[in-house]
Amino acid sequence: MQGSNKISKSLRVTGTLVYLFLYLPLIVLIVYSFNDSRVNVGWVGFTLKWYKVLFADKQLINAAINSLIIALIASTVSVILGTLAGVALHKYKVPLLSTLVMIPVAAPELLVGVSLLLFFILINFTLGMASITLAHIAFCVSFVTIAVKTRMHGMDNSLLDAARDLGASPVKSFFLILIPTILPGVIAGWLMAFTLSIDDFVITFFTAGVGSSTLPLAIYSMLKMGVTPEVNAASTIIILVTLVLTSVATKLSPQLFK
Amino acid sequence: MIHMNNAGKEKWVLSLPPVIYLVGLFLIPTILMIFIAFREPGDYGGVAPLITHNNGSTSLNLTLDGFRYAFSSSFIWKLFLRSMLYSILTTFCCLLIGYPLALLIAKSAKKYRDLLLLLVIIPFWSNFLIRVYAWMILLGPNSAISNVVNSIRHLFGLEPLDLLFSSAAVIICLVYINLPFMILPLYANLEKHDYALIEASRDLGANKSRSFWQITVPLSMPGILAGCGLVFIPCIGMFVIPELVGNNCSMMIGNLIKQQFLQTMNWPLGSVTSIVMTLLVLSISLFVGFLASRSGGLKYARK
């Protein structure tokens, strides 16, 4: 749309209203997290007590720690698998792999969740931290694969040819040439996987069983109980952390989000 | 031992670990679910044993009852229809709200575009439960929105309404959660438009609205279809939003599937419902893909 710098007034107004629709809910939520009132209606006064309540909430802290552990393991394992898959798909045609990678991106999460639940129960695998982590790795691999493939798209293959001509083994050139070249894509993939894992609710909900909880699961059960300002405080912190992580990922791999 | 050259070897060294993992955790569970759809429900939840020995005779317990029940149950039909209706409504609202914003970003000066686009994506990055929760606050009893709506209703002599826990709240949340999926493909399409076409139409005497409806909209058809597909498909299977902000009359098919697996423990019926939902989603995506391939976009420009 080059050369079209005549934006009509009505379009400007509509656009502003849509941005308001996007941001107002989050702003209200953040503002109320500092509000000295039990109910989220009207401003009473400034307080940090909801944050104090939050940091004293053992269950929620434990859930957050679980989330971190799962996300660290899931993103690390899925980065290894996803990088292998990304490189394989870039260099060769692997129809089975490309289909498998597309499943979690295209299928409704609910289906992935219930089929994994069935699977774990039928193979007598105890539901808990381990089953959540295995499920998270499964859907994170796809996104890492896409990130790595995107990064390799513009890569110069002559480096690898040169390495081989100079007598480097495939393994050596993989670790010394290929990995450093696609490292930004790998790191972006890792961050993406980490964010996806920390954020996931639906698949976790089905694969968690009764004993273990993650941060989204804990927030969900709080919401089922009713609206409380403690959730506002938790949400505010989550929004800020997500913002930082994703801006780092965008910096590393801008073409990922195009 | 099959002789393989180096490239062939490398191909399998690279792809075997991810293939094994994804086959184990996607393909096998999916096949299991399809298989379970033809089994009989167990007496205490789960599935009945596949082979039973009764008075010396062995019987194989495979059945189509699950499918028969699903297609004859008016309750399940109703939920499917409601899910479709909500998803269509959500898609339409997203298009109505998203199109102007995508157009605004595409028409903005180059230096602002990335920032404006980032502003669309940022809310979408925070956890979706949080975004639903924000609406629980906004629509809650005595919230500003509730008060305005109810005072207007009062003017017309109508009873006050509970905005939260209503179908309206479900639609609002569905639209809010899915809006970025509509805006991004639309923007990607609108950004590529050649403004000369609009100018030419204006020179030939078309007014603003005519050039919008006869040039911009037909040209952006692929973007519209992609956006609609990306909103509609995940929408069908959503169950958390109806659970948190809906009521008994706004339950969707996803809620039923969740119930069948976690509460009533009727796995075969749950699997049947999931399979029917998947086929529905699949046929819709194929249909959208077919439409997209027919609307080549630029061919309209030559009319």
DSSP string of chain B, one letter each residue:
-----HHHHHHHHHHHHHHHHHIIIIIHHHHHHHHHTTBPBPBTBBB--SEEEETTEEEE-B-SHHHHHHHH-HHHHHHHHHHHHHHHHHHHHHHHHHHHHHHHHHHS-HHHHHHHHHHHHHHHHS-HHHHHHHHHHHHSTTSHHHHHHHHHHHHTTPPP---SSSHHHHHHHHHHHHHHHHHHHHHHHHTT--HHHHHHHHHTT--HHHHIIIIIHHHTHHHHHHHHHHHHHHHHT--HHHHHH--GGG--HHHHHHHHHHTS-BHHHHHHHHHHHHHHHHHHHHHHHHHHHH--SGGGGG-
Q: Closest to B97 (Cβ–Cβ): which among A5, A18, A106?
A: A18
- Answer for the pair A124, B46: CB distance below 8 angstroms, yes or no: no
A203 vs A167, residue with greater confidence:
A203
pLDDT-wise least confident of A106-120, A160-174, B234-248 = A160-174
Distance CA A140, CA A120 (A): 18
- Residues 6 or more apart whose Cβ sits within 8 Å of residue B87: B174, B231, B232, B235, B236
pLDDT, tens digit (0-9, with 9 covering 90-100), for A209-237:
887 899 999 999 999 887 788 889 999 99
pTM of the model: 0.87
pLDDT at A224: 87
Distance CA A49, CA A55 (A): 10
Secondary structure of residue A4 in the 3-state scheme: coil
pLDDT at B300: 46
Record the tokens describing residue A160, joined without a space.
């690898």
**Partner A, chain B 170-189, Cβ-Cβ below 8 Å:** 176, 179, 188
Domain-wise residue ranges, chain A: 54-252
Distance CA B70, CA B38 (A): 12
Smallest CA–CA distance from B173 into chain A, residue: A25
Which residue stretches of chain B have pLDDT < 70? Answer: 1-5, 56, 59, 295-303
Q: Does B97 touch chain A (CB under 8 A)?
A: yes
In sign, the C-alpha dihedral spanning A228, A229, A233, A235 is positive
Q: Give percent of chain A with pLDDT exceeding 70.
A: 95
Please report residues of B whose CB lies closer than 8 A to that of A102. Answer: none
User: Hey, which CATH number is domain A54-252, 1.10.357.10, 3.40.50.2300, 1.10.3720.10, 1.10.600.10?
Assistant: 1.10.3720.10
**Partner A, chain B 3-22, Cβ-Cβ below 8 Å:** 6-7, 10-11, 14-15, 17-19, 21-22
pLDDT at A160: 78
Smallest CA–CA distance from B256 into chain A, residue: A110
Distance CA B133, CA B276 (A): 31
- pLDDT at residue A42 greater than cutoff 60: yes
pLDDT at A253: 63
Distance CA A141, CA A77 (A): 8
Q: CB B98: neighbour CB atoms within 10 A? A: 27
Record the tokens describing residue B66, joined without a space.
């699950």
Q: Angle at CA A116, nearest 5°, toward A115 and A120?
A: 120
Contact yes or no for A84 and B127 at CB 8 A: no
**Partner A, chain B 109-148, Cβ-Cβ below 8 Å:** 109, 118-123, 125-138, 140, 142-143
CB pairs under 8 A between A and B: 242
Q: Give percent of chain A with pLDDT exceeding 90.
A: 40
How is A10-28 classified by DSSP, letter by letter? HHHHHHHHHHHHHHHHHHH
pLDDT at B302: 38
Distance CA A256, CA A196 (A): 15
Record the tokens describing residue B163, joined without a space.
């905005």
pLDDT at B298: 45
pLDDT at B301: 42
- pLDDT at residue A57 greater than cutoff 70: yes
Distance CA B138, CA A28 (A): 8
Please report residues of B whose CB lies closer than 8 A to that of A206. Answer: 261-262
Distance CA A93, CA A89 (A): 6
pLDDT at B239: 94
pLDDT, tens digit (0-9, with 9 covering 90-100), for A69-92:
999 999 999 999 999 999 898 888
- Residues 6 or more apart whose Cβ sits within 8 Å of residue B113: B105, B106, B191
Record the tokens describing residue B9, joined without a space.
């070897």
Please report residues of A whose CB lies closer than 8 A to that of B179. Answer: 22
Summary mean pLDDT of chain A: 86
Distance CA A78, CA A148 (A): 12
Residue A240's DSSP bridge partners are none
Distance CA B218, CA B216 (A): 6
pLDDT at A138: 93
Please report residues of B whose CB lies closer than 8 A to that of A23. Answer: 123
